[in-house]
A = this chain, B = another copy of it.
Amino acid sequence: MAAWGERLAGVRGVLLDISGVLYDGGEGGGAAIAGSVEAVARLKRSRLKVRFCTNESQKSRADLVGLLRRLGFDVSEGEVTAPAPAACLILKQRGLRPHLLVHDGVRSEFDQIDTSNPNCVVIADAGEGFSYQNMNKAFQVLMELENPVLFSLGKGRYYKETSGLMLDVGPYMKALEYACGIEAEVVGKPSPEFFKSALQEMGVEAHEAIMIGDDIVGDVGGAQRYGMRALQVRTGKFRPSDEHHPEVKADGYVDNLAEAVDLLLQHADK
């Protein structure tokens, strides 16, 4: 593999995944990953542009930012690209009224959306909300529609909480796709539109940007397909087998965000 200097040359902007990179969720809100609070602070003091790009769909942006600030991170709502607000934009543009299968914590993001007489379904990481009854209701709504439209806020397979691995929205998206014989529209990583928004909001071109995430497919593969570079951290949901993934090869693997920031501050934007 080329030297870090070569791999990171010309990077001007950094997109940071949140869960598994900044912190691991769990009891009492979760815990910051060692070194990440300082790493974010150093990055923000540098000449590099920084933006947070998350598939978090259990919490509203306000709640997520509140949690991160309590853990010591310097982050504000305006710096976060998240799927629920992106979905609301799409729903409004297309005049769609969703049936929501989402966590109560994110419901407030949809306050301005008409959910009467639904003509589509939106699913997000609903956690315990993914009961048989709720899944069956979403399924029945889709089967009643002439042209069933399903939006999924991300399609992650699982994430890591302090207590262990937890199923994410992706498996439930696959379940509804199979049940109804349809394909969902993904809002969030690895959708190209989502990376496009985050880069526009950061004001950096894809070839000048790098994604740092713990998900080899959603973060690394998605960013690379959009023309960005991407590093995988060995925290969060990272598993050793990720470094031999059959389809995706990161531009680099680092132990954690702190190491990624060390390398970026040494080699980027040169």
Listed in ascending order, the chain A residues whose CB lies under 8 Å from chain B are 126-133, 135-136, 139-140, 143, 157-158, 164-168, 170-172, 174-181
B170–A172 contact, CB under 8 A? no
Q: For A139, A143, A178, which residue has the most chain B Cβ atoms within 10 angstroms?
A: A178
A175–B171 contact, CB under 8 A? yes
Complex: how many Å from CA A48 to CA B139? 39
Which residue of the partner chain, among B127, B132, B178, contacts A130 with CB atoms under 8 Å? Answer: B132
Given contacts A139-B167, A140-B165, A167-B139, contact A157 B178 (CB under 8 A): yes
Given contacts A158-B179, A175-B174, contact A166 B127 (CB under 8 A): no
Report chain B residues within 8 Å CB of A174: 171, 174-175, 177-178
Given contacts A127-B132, A131-B131, contact A170 B178 (CB under 8 A): yes
Given contacts A128-B133, A131-B132, contact A165 B143 (CB under 8 A): yes
| A and B contact pairs by CB, cutoff 8 A, 27 listed | A126-B132, A127-B132, A128-B133, A130-B131, A130-B132, A130-B135, A132-B167, A136-B166, A139-B158, A139-B165, A139-B167, A139-B171, A140-B164, A140-B165, A143-B158, A157-B178, A157-B180, A158-B179, A167-B175, A167-B179, A168-B179, A170-B178, A171-B174, A171-B175, A172-B175, A174-B174, A174-B178
Complex: how many Å from CA A237 to CA B171? 24
Kindly report which residue of chain B lies nearest to residue A166, judged by CB atoms. B136
Report chain B residues within 8 Å CB of A176: 171
Kindly report which residue of chain B lies nearest to residue A179, judged by CB atoms. B171
Report chain B residues within 8 Å CB of A168: 179
Q: Would you give the shortest CB distance from A72 to chain B, in whole angstroms? A: 29
Complex: how many Å from CA A121 to CA B82? 35
